[in-house]
Structure 1
């Protein structure tokens, strides 16, 4: 399940990306965006743990080093700079949408392999991503 390794790697690198935005957002709505980004990276880390534990339950190896995560991710890291609230929200939304699409791909693959526990987990993740996308879209209005 190569996409599952990519998903796990994206969760870890995405968590770092969200932390970067959380630490470096500035501007009039700093507090609200800062706190929302914290909720996003907490959610990302929870998903990371769920996926890794499921991989272990399924007898699959779990990537566990920064080197492996960087080799398997398709998430672009951000460098250090200050980000406006709008920039931070747009980067976060891009990440969440990307993860939603990947979760849907994995769900379809898991369904084809009759791996219902993974199918259900990805459905739960997609539901969470959909809610975050709704919040982020409304923050950008």
Structure 2
């Protein structure tokens, strides 16, 4: 059934294509944060192990919210690793050391990259695609990532 919510089908398609990229980024970042949680080593192991757990749990909620936003706009959310790897702009990195500082720097870079991408699309959703709901939604996502980035950044001081 066609989604009739005051946004053209073409605009809904464009919005959900961007949201699919955001979903892929979120899923890759979630996986990288899980990796940090599982594999971090060092004197600060316990505290950063728990810290990474808090972060991946928050990302898990974000992933679900983005997928549900795509569905609420009448489209299907990508849900395969192959799709995510094709859509994401994040990269996987091989690590020589599993130290907290290395993981934190890498995750911080990814959060900042996502923040920039979200910020670039806030006005685009509102002005070009006439979708104030998704504009507001990704503003909230951006704020969540800004807080998570601040937490990561604070570990590096």
Q: Same fold (TM over 0.5)?
A: yes
Q: Secondary structure at the match of 1:60?
A: coil
- Specify the alignment match of 2:3 in structure 1: none
Larger Rg: 2
After the TM superposition, which residues 114-125 of structure 1 pair with which residues of structure 2 at under 5 Å, given as runs? 114-125=130-141
The normalised TM-score by structure 2 is 0.83
Q: In structure 2, what is the equivalent of residue 135 of structure 1?
A: 151
Give the 3 Å change call, closer, same or farther, for CA 90–80 of structure 1 in structure 2: closer
Query: Structure 1: which 5+ runs fail to align?
Result: none
Q: How many aligned positions are there?
A: 141
- Structure 1 vs Structure 2 CA RMSD: 1.5
2:109 corresponds in structure 1 to 94
TM-score normalised by L of structure 1:
0.91
Q: 1:92 Cα deviation (Å)?
A: 1.3
The Cα of 1:78 is off from its aligned counterpart by 3.1
Cα separation, 1, equivalents of 2:118 and 2:53: 21
- Indicate conservation of the 8 Å contact 2:20/2:70, yes or no: no
**Which whole-Å CA distance do the structure 1 matches of 2:45 and 2:118 have between them?**
30
1:1-141 matches, within 5 Å, as: 1=14, 2-79=17-94, 82-112=97-127, 113-141=129-157
Give every structure 1 segment of 4 or more consecutive aligned residues whose post-TM-superposition deviation is greater than 2 Å. Answer: 78-82
Q: CA deviation at 1:61?
A: 2.5
Unaligned runs of 5+ in 2: 1-13
Deviation at 1:88, TM superposition (A): 1.2
Q: Distance in 1 between matches of 2:130 and 2:40?
A: 43
